[in-house]
Amino acid sequence: MKCKALVTDIDGTLTVSRDTYELSLEALSALRVLRNAGVRVAIATANGLDYAMSISRYIGVSSVIAENGCIVHVDGATYELCREIRRDEVIKTALSTGLVRESEQNRCRKYDLAFQPLVNAEVAVKALRSALGDEFSVTYSGYAIHVRPKGFDKGTGLRFLCNKWRISCELVAVVGDSEVDAPMLRLGWGIAVGNADEEAKMAARITVEGPSGLGFAEAVELVLSGMACSD
């Protein structure tokens, strides 16, 4: 086995599909096998830290990258990587476009704010980028539009986590499905699930056949067989 650790997205990767929040039994079973084999595991999500920590507790994972790389929890400590934003101003500006509604999760978010598109997601993303300017990154995960300080992403969180683990990111398998996963897929040994966005597939080293949770189970097989984290 060449991989020292695995970092995975949740929504669309550990779930049954990209259209549900229901966790895949196949993914959870594969995750347990991986942990029992001694591989370190972390989840990397666009969700807020409280939500991510709740999920991690029930699936037996202790390390978390939350808010698209803005917050990392590892070895019992929480680190905030992103710079402060003017939350109320950002929310007001985003809502003024009339193309999004605010996510209820924003009550638990500090740096990465989420919005649900009321029109085509690409149209809404373009409008928010224009309204908010170059200070912010605006991306769509397939579940929500995310606004956060520019220069921070899941790759930022992964690099920080690798440093804490004292592991080269090239020896960390990374599994994801969407545009927001692309930075960490490029930095680690990226594996895209079969129904991933084109941006995620292009960033990954390999794309497995199975969708979402089934694809994650395939990715775990690659790790356990020693095929991942190799040239």
Which residues are marked as active site? 9
Q: Whole-angstrom distance between the N-terminal and C-terminal Cα of the chain?
A: 13
The three-class DSSP label of residue 94 is helix
Residue 115's nearest CA partner among 129, 127, 126, 105 is 105
What is the rounded distance in angstroms from the CA atom of residue 99 to the CA atom of residue 185? 30
Residues 185, 143, 137, 117, CA torsion sign: positive
How many C-beta atoms surround the C-beta of residue 98 within 10 A?
Answer: 10
What is the rounded distance in angstroms from the CA atom of residue 75 to the CA atom of residue 132? 35
Q: What angle do CA 156, 158, 163 make, to 5 degrees?
A: 100
